[in-house]
């Protein structure tokens, strides 16, 4: 019986660690980095060569470890707020002590820099600055209305720039994709503020809905949703993205549904539904990269070469 309890406690602690570092988010980011590398950044290279590239693996590993440490420090600072906003998740997270979380935070950061050192000194500097940015956001910037949301969204897409720089591919289509992703993540971050307004108010977090009200927050989200239609239009009409255009058509429909539901939303449950719609868009976007016709991309690269 005692052994069974120990095994159950160990399992719960493993689930707690997975919850704290948002393991599911990290898996999606890792998959997105590899799919982006294969289908967008280096379409002229054999798939197996990209997948077995040691430097790319080091960059992806450094990114995953840095992001995990970022989630830990964010959880550390938000522990009191999460007791109000996410009581069940918070109780699971508290199976791991604050001291253990801080220890894991420093170990993960060190490991991230070690992996980056495998690539180059510039990679070490990049990830060191990124790690500092994640800490500074959690410690200070997240409490500043709108600026905190913008910085959070920039930090979310920063690991992809490490891969862009590694391949030296700065094609316009990549930046248009990045703008679209940035806007969707920014909208999701602002919806999270609406979802967590109770805890933010109790802990004196100066988010947009707390300082300016839910209506102003909805106006800003609506504007951001309209802005996403710019890169969506460009990606469908101006670039060769194969059947990935189906994702953007579907995304347009989902955003219309999202806006309709948002203006009717008034409870935490309503905002959670909106949050899940945006999560669906992001995850579907990752898998939709598979719909890109590599042949079209290679032909375009060949046609552009002198």
Q: What percent of the chain has pLDDT over 90?
A: 48
pLDDT in tens, 249-272: 999 999 999 999 999 998 888 999
Residue where a domain terminates, one of 122, 137, 169: 169
Q: How far from 158 is each of 97, 182, 246, 285, CA to CA, in Å?
A: 29, 10, 26, 17
**Same domain for 191 and 128:** no
In the predicted structure, residue 93 carries a pLDDT above the cut 80: no
Mean pLDDT, the chain, integer: 84
**Same domain for 183 and 136:** no
**Same domain for 204 and 159:** no
Q: Quote the CA–CA distance of 175 and 162 in Å, as a whole number.
A: 13
pLDDT in tens, 10-27: 666 666 676 666 778 899
Which domain range does residue 256 map to? 171-306
**Same domain for 71 and 179:** no
Lowest mean pLDDT among 54-58, 163-167, 201-205: 201-205
**Same domain for 177 and 291:** yes
Pick the closest to residue 62 from 106, 116, 25, 107 (CA basis): 116
Contact 37, 167 (CB under 8 A): yes
What local confidence, expressed as pLDDT, does residue 229 receive?
Answer: 93
In the predicted structure, residue 83 carries a pLDDT above the cut 70: no
pLDDT band for position 305 (cuts 50, 70, 90) = very low
In the predicted structure, residue 300 carries a pLDDT above the cut 50: no
In degrees, to the nearest 5, what angle opens at C-alpha 51 toward C-alphas 176 and 304? 45
Q: Quote the CA–CA distance of 285 and 251 in Å, as a whole number.
A: 9
**Mean pLDDT value across residues 153-180:** 88
Residue 254 lies in a domain: yes
Interacting residues of 159 by C-beta distance below 8 A, sequence separation 6+: 29, 33, 63, 66, 67, 130
What local confidence, expressed as pLDDT, does residue 88 receive?
Answer: 65
In the predicted structure, residue 186 carries a pLDDT above the cut 80: yes
Q: What is the DSSP letter of 96?
A: S
Number of folded domains that form the chain:
2
**Mean pLDDT value across residues 147-152:** 92
Residue ranges of alpha helices (H) inside the chain are 2-20, 23-36, 47-51, 54-77, 79-85, 87-93, 98-119, 121-139, 147-167, 172-195, 197-202, 208-212, 214-237, 245-264, 268-288, 294-304
**Same domain for 212 and 250:** yes
């Amino acid at each position: 019986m005692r052994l069974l309890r120990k095994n159950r406690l160990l399992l719960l602690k493993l689930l707690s660690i997975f919850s704290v570092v948002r393991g599911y988010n990290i898996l999606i980011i890792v998959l997105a980095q590899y799919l982006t590398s294969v289908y967008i950044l280096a379409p002229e290279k054999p798939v197996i060569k990209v997948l077995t590239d040691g430097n790319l693996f080091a960059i992806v590993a450094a990114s995953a470890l840095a992001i995990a440490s970022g989630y830990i420090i964010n959880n550390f600072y938000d522990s009191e707020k999460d007791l109000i906003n996410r009581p069940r998740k918070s109780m699971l997270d508290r199976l791991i002590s604050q001291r253990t979380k801080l220890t894991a935070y420093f170990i993960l950061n060190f490991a991230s820099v070690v992996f980056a050192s495998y690539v180059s000194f510039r990679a070490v500097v990049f990830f060191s600055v990124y790690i500092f940015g994640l800490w500074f956001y959690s410690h200070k910037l997240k409490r500043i209305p709108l600026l905190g949301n913008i910085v959070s969204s920039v930090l979310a897409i920063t690991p992809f720039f490490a891969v862009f720089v590694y391949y030296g591919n700065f094609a316009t289509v990549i930046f248009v994709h990045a703008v679209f992703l940035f806007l969707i993540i920014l909208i999701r971050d602002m919806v999270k503020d609406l979802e967590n307004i109770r805890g933010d108010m109790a802990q004196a977090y100066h988010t947009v809905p707390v300082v300016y009200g839910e209506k102003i927050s909805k106006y800003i989200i609506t504007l951001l949703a309209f802005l996403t239609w710019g890169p969506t239009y460009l990606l469908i009409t101006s670039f060769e993205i194969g059947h990935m255009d189906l994702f953007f058509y579907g995304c347009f429909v989902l955003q219309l549904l999202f806006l309709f539901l948002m203006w009717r939303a008034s409870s935490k449950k309503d905002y959670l539904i909106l949050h899940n719609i945006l999560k669906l868009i992001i995850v579907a976007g990752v898998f939709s990269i598979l719909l890109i016709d590599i042949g079209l991309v290679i032909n375009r690269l060949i046609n552009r070469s002198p």
